C-alpha cells in the first residue's frame, strides 16, 4: 500500500508538471509543408529502383521514363500472364508496370515520355504458354495515376477509378458522363521531343491503306510515258492493247485500239493488287494467311532501338514470298527476296534505327499464290523457332534442334484427311511436340512421359482429322530447351 501510494503521488506530480510546462510554453502545430511532404510519393531513379527493389516494396512511387509496350503471349490452352504488361525506360533501365494498358496501347506509341504514380509490388508465378512456362519473380509498379501527359487524348483525362484503375473503367466513366468517345491524338515524337499537334486520324487498325509505292512492290521505279520497257511481254492480236508489268499501256498498230490518256494510266500493275488492312503482329505469335498472286499483305509491330528483331515467313510449296520492311516514317529499310517457292524468307536485324511502329509487307511474287506462316521474335523469345520446310505425307525427315530452339515443319493438308504424326527422339532428352492448325492456333500438345521416356523418347498424335484445306504446322522441342535429335513421319490414314 505504501509503495502504491508513492507511485500514485509520483504520477500526479509528473502530470502536473507536464501540464504546467504545456501551459507556459505552448507547442507549435506542425508546419503545413511538413505534412504535405509526408504524403508525397517517393521518386527514386529507375536505376536505384532496379538495384534495390526490395527496399521500396509496398511504397507509393512517382516515376518518369518513356513508354514501352511488352508482347503478350497468345496461347491456345494454358496461358500464364505476368501482371506487368508494359515498361518504363530511361534508355538503359526498364521498370515493369501494370495498369492503363489498353489506353496506352491505343493512344501512345513506344517512346512517349510518361510521369506516373503507383504502388511498388512483388509477384511470382509462371509466365508464358503451356506447362513449361517458367516461374518468374516480377517487381512492378501498379499504376494509380498518369500525371503526364494528362490527358492522353483531346478530351478524356486519365484518372483512376476506385478499385479499378483500368481502361475498361475509364470507358465506363466516359459513357456515364455522356461524352462521345474521342479520336486519339497521334504521338509521333520519340524521346524528349514534344508531342505532335492535335490531328484526328483514324487508328491504324481500321485504315485501308493505299500501296506506298503505287502498287509496285518495294521500291521498283515506275516510269511514266508510253515506252514499253525492255523484256516485258506484249500481248498480240487484233484490237488488243499491250500491257507492261509496270502499269503503262501502249497501243498496237490496229487503228481500233484505244490509246490511254494521261488521266487513264493506272497507278499500279494490271490487275491492281489487293492491299490488306494492316494487322498488328505480336511477338512469338504464329500467324497464317492465304495470299493471291500479285496481292500485298501488311503487318505492323512495335519496334525499339534496343530490341533485336527476327522475322521468318514460311510459304506453301507453290508460293514465293517477297518481304519489305518500312520504318515508322514509312521509309523503306530493305527488300528481302533471297529464296524461291516454298522456301523461308528471313529478316534478322540486330538493332532497329528508331523506336515506333514498323510495317512488314508480304507479297506473292510473279503468278504464285498460296498460304504462308509468319513469326516475329526477339532475342528474349523462349524458345526460338526455326522453320524447316515442307513435309509431305509418307515422308520421313530428321533434324537436330539447337539449344534454346524448336523446329517447325509445315505440311499442306486437305479437309477431311485423318493423319498420324510420329516423332522419335534420337538423343537422350525429354521431347515434346505440338500442332498448330491452319489459323496458327496450337490445338494439340503432347509430352506423355508415362508411356515413352528418355533415352528413346517418342511422342505421337494419332487419328487427327483436319477441318479445312490449308497450311498446318508441327513443332518439335525439348522440355529443357537443350539440343534434341529426332525423326518425324506424317501418315495419311484416310
Per-residue confidence (pLDDT) for residue 483, from 0 to 100? 95
Cell of 54: 526490395
Higher pLDDT, 27 or 465: 465
Cell of 185: 491524338
* C-alpha 98, offset from chain centre: 17
Per-residue confidence (pLDDT) for residue 398, from 0 to 100? 96
- CATH 2.40.50.140 residue ranges of the chain are 40-177
Q: What dihedral do alpha carbons 261, 263, 267, 268 form, nearest 10°?
A: -30
What backbone phi and psi angles, to 5 degrees, belong to 9? -65, -45
Higher pLDDT, 126 or 298: 298
- CATH 2.60.120.380 residue ranges of the chain are 272-381, 382-494
Q: What number is the average pLDDT over the span 350-354? A: 90
Q: What number is the average pLDDT over the span 429-452? A: 87
Cell of 376: 516475329
pLDDT tens per residue, range 38-88: 335 788 989 889 888 988 998 999 999 999 998 877 777 778 888 899 999
Higher pLDDT, 33 or 260: 260
pLDDT tops 80 at residue 99:
yes
pLDDT tens per residue, range 150-164: 777 533 334 333 343
- Compute the mean pLDDT over every residue in the chain, rounded to the nearest whole number: 73
Q: Confidence class of residue 414 from pLDDT cuts 50, 70 and 90?
A: very high
CATH architecture for residues 272-381? Sandwich (2.60)
The DSSP annotation for 332-390 comes to: EEEEE----TT--EEEEES--SSSEEEEEEEEE-TT--EEEEEEEE-TT-SSEEEEEEE
User: 59, 144 in Cβ contact below 8 A?
Assistant: no
Q: Which CATH class is domain 382-494?
A: mainly beta
Per-residue confidence (pLDDT) for residue 307, from 0 to 100? 87
pLDDT tens per residue, range 168-190: 332 332 233 333 333 333 333 33
Cell of 367: 503468278
Q: If we measure between CA atoms, which residue out of 447, 441, 386, 450 comes closest to residue 76?
A: 441
Share of the chain above pLDDT 70, in %: 66
Give me the residues paired with residue 377 across strands: 310
Write out 300-333 in H/E/C secondary structure: EEEECCCCCEEEEEEECCCCCEEEEEECCCCCEE
Q: Count how many Cα atoms sit within 13 Å of the Cα of residue 352 in the half-sphere of its side chain.
A: 26
Q: Confidence class of residue 273 from pLDDT cuts 50, 70 and 90?
A: low
pLDDT tens per residue, range 200-236: 333 333 333 334 443 334 433 333 333 333 333 332 3
CATH fold, domain 40-177, is OB fold (Dihydrolipoamide Acetyltransferase, E2P) (2.40.50)
Q: Confidence class of residue 390 from pLDDT cuts 50, 70 and 90?
A: very high
Q: How far apart are CA 281 and CA 67, in angstroms?
A: 18
Per-residue confidence (pLDDT) for residue 272, from 0 to 100? 64
Amino acid at each position: 500500500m505504501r509503495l502504491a501510494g508513492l507511485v500514485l503521488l509520483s504520477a500526479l506530480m509528473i502530470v502536473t508538471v507536464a501540464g504546467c510546462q504545456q501551459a507556459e510554453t505552448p507547442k507549435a502545430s506542425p508546419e503545413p509543408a511538413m505534412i504535405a511532404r509526408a504524403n508525397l510519393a517517393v521518386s527514386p531513379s529507375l536505376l536505384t529502383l532496379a538495384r534495390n527493389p526490395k527496399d521500396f516494396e509496398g511504397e507509393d512511387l512517382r516515376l518518369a521514363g518513356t513508354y514501352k509496350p511488352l508482347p503478350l503471349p497468345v496461347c491456345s490452352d494454358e496461358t500464364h500472364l505476368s501482371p506487368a504488361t508494359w515498361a518504363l525506360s530511361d534508355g538503359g533501365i526498364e521498370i515493369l508496370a501494370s495498369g492503363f494498358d489498353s489506353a496506352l496501347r491505343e493512344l501512345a506509341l513506344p517512346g512517349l515520355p510518361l510521369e506516373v504514380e503507383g504502388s511498388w509490388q512483388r509477384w511470382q508465378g509462371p509466365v508464358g504458354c503451356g506447362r513449361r512456362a517458367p516461374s518468374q519473380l516480377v517487381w512492378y509498379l501498379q499504376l494509380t495515376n498518369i500525371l503526364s501527359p494528362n490527358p492522353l487524348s483531346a478530351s478524356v483525362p486519365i484518372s483512376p477509378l476506385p478499385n479499378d484503375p483500368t481502361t475498361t473503367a475509364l470507358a465506363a466513366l466516359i459513357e456515364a458522363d455522356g461524352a462521345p468517345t474521342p479520336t486519339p491524338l497521334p504521338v509521333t515524337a520519340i524521346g524528349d521531343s514534344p508531342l505532335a499537334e492535335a490531328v484526328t486520324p483514324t487508328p491504324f487498325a481500321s485504315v485501308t491503306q493505299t500501296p506506298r509505292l503505287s502498287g509496285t512492290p518495294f521500291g521498283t521505279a515506275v516510269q511514266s510515258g508510253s515506252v514499253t520497257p525492255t523484256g516485258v511481254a506484249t500481248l498480240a492480236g487484233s484490237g488488243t492493247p499491250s500491257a507492261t508489268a509496270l502499269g503503262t499501256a501502249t497501243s498496237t498498230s490496229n487503228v481500233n485500239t484505244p490509246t490511254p490518256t494521261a488521266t487513264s494510266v493506272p497507278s499500279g500493275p494490271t490487275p491492281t493488287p489487293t492491299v490488306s488492312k494492316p494487322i498488328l503482329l505480336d511477338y512469338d505469335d504464329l500467324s497464317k494467311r492465304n495470299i493471291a498472286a500479285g496481292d500485298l499483305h501488311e503487318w505492323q509491330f512495335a519496334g525499339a532501338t534496343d530490341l533485336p528483331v527476327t522475322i521468318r515467313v514460311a510459304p506453301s510449296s507453290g508460293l514465293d514470298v517477297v518481304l519489305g520492311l518500312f520504318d515508322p516514317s514509312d521509309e523503306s529499310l530493305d527488300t528481302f527476296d533471297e529464296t524461291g517457292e516454298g522456301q523461308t524468307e528471313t529478316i534478322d536485324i540486330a538493332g532497329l534505327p528508331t523506336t515506333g511502329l514498323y510495317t512488314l509487307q508480304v507479297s506473292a511474287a510473279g503468278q504464285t499464290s498460296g498460304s504462308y506462316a509468319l513469326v516475329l521474335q526477339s532475342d528474349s523469345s523462349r524458345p526460338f523457332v526455326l522453320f524447316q520446310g515442307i513435309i509431305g505425307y509418307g515422308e520421313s525427315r530428321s533434324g537436330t534442334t539447337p539449344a534454346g530452339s524448336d523446329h517447325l515443319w509445315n505440311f499442306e493438308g486437305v479437309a477431311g484427311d485423318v493423319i498420324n504424326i510420329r516423332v522419335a527422339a534420337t538423343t537422350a532428352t525429354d521431347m515434346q511436340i505440338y500442332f498448330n492448325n491452319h489459323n496458327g492456333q496450337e490445338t494439340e500438345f503432347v509430352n506423355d512421359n508415362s508411356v515413352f521416356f528418355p533415352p528413346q523418347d517418342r511422342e505421337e498424335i494419332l487419328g487427327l482429322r483436319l477441318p479445312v484445306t490449308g497450311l498446318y504446322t508441327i513443332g518439335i522441342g525439348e522440355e529443357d530447351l537443350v539440343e534434341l535429335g529426332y525423326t518425324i513421319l506424317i501418315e495419311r490414314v484416310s
